[in-house]
Amino acid sequence: HESKAKAFLAKITSDLDIDKFYRDIATRTLNVLCDAERYVHSHDKRLRHMLHRYYHNHKKHNQSPDYKHNHKGIYYHHKGYNIEAILHEAKDIFIDVVGLSIGLRELDISEIGYLDYINVGNGTIRFSHGEFEVPAPATEQILNKYGLRWEKSDINEEMATPTGVSILAGCKAKRIYALEDYHIIKKSLAKGTRGLPSICFFL
């Protein structure tokens, strides 16, 4: 849940003694992700039925003395109010967000940029809510809300995830139009284990 996630992030960044500047980036990133997940689960009709089922599957909750009050709360959840974001793959999210703040600190990086546009890939993805076209609902919500230019490509895979674009928004990433305008000190490439082309996306 959102409140537990935010409390955990605050504790772990404090325990790791991460500087306030980079701690704020991690906090902003998680806030961006939570806001997007909350929005799409409340407004996207493809996801709202999953939210309804999530709350109504809790029998003990439904049988509690406060059920009528809680049920009213669920009604408002469906209207898009006062709902805590449901975070998918929470462990991976914390690894990414905390790792981001530590990595930026260790490399002494204060800002990042993306080259021309965000390549979101193409095709479809399947997760707990079913099958969706790329980009995923939360990904598209973040990209559009924060004015991050994006395009589909001929790479038939998901190339931008909700957490990934939350990082860009949390870092206030700037769009870079041409590499010729910058002095390149060092280049590096990371693409995991997928057989993807060697394309540079970020600086």
Neighbours of 123 (CB within 10 A): 11
Residue type, 36: A
Per-residue pLDDT tens digits of the chain, which is 203 residues long: 678 888 889 999 999 999 999 999 999 999 999 999 888 888 777 666 555 555 555 444 444 444 444 443 333 344 444 455 656 667 888 999 999 999 999 999 999 999 889 999 999 988 776 788 999 999 999 999 999 999 999 889 899 999 999 999 999 999 998 878 788 888 777 767 777 776 655 54
pLDDT the model gives residue 42:
82
Whole-number Å distance between alpha carbons of 199 and 122:
16
Structure token digits, residue 15: 């325990």
DSSP string across 97-157: HHHHHHHHHHTT----EEESSEE-B-SEEEETTEEEESSPHHHHHHHHHTT--EE--S--S
pLDDT of res. 87: 67
Domain ranges of the chain: 2-181
Which residue matches tokens 């996306």?
201
- Tokens standing for residue 65: 């003395």
Residue 166 confidence (pLDDT):
97
Whole-number pLDDT of residue 89: 66
Phi and psi, residue 83, nearest 5°: -105, 140
| Contact present, 165 and 143 (Cβ < 8 Å) | yes
CB atoms closer than 10 angstroms to residue 29: 25
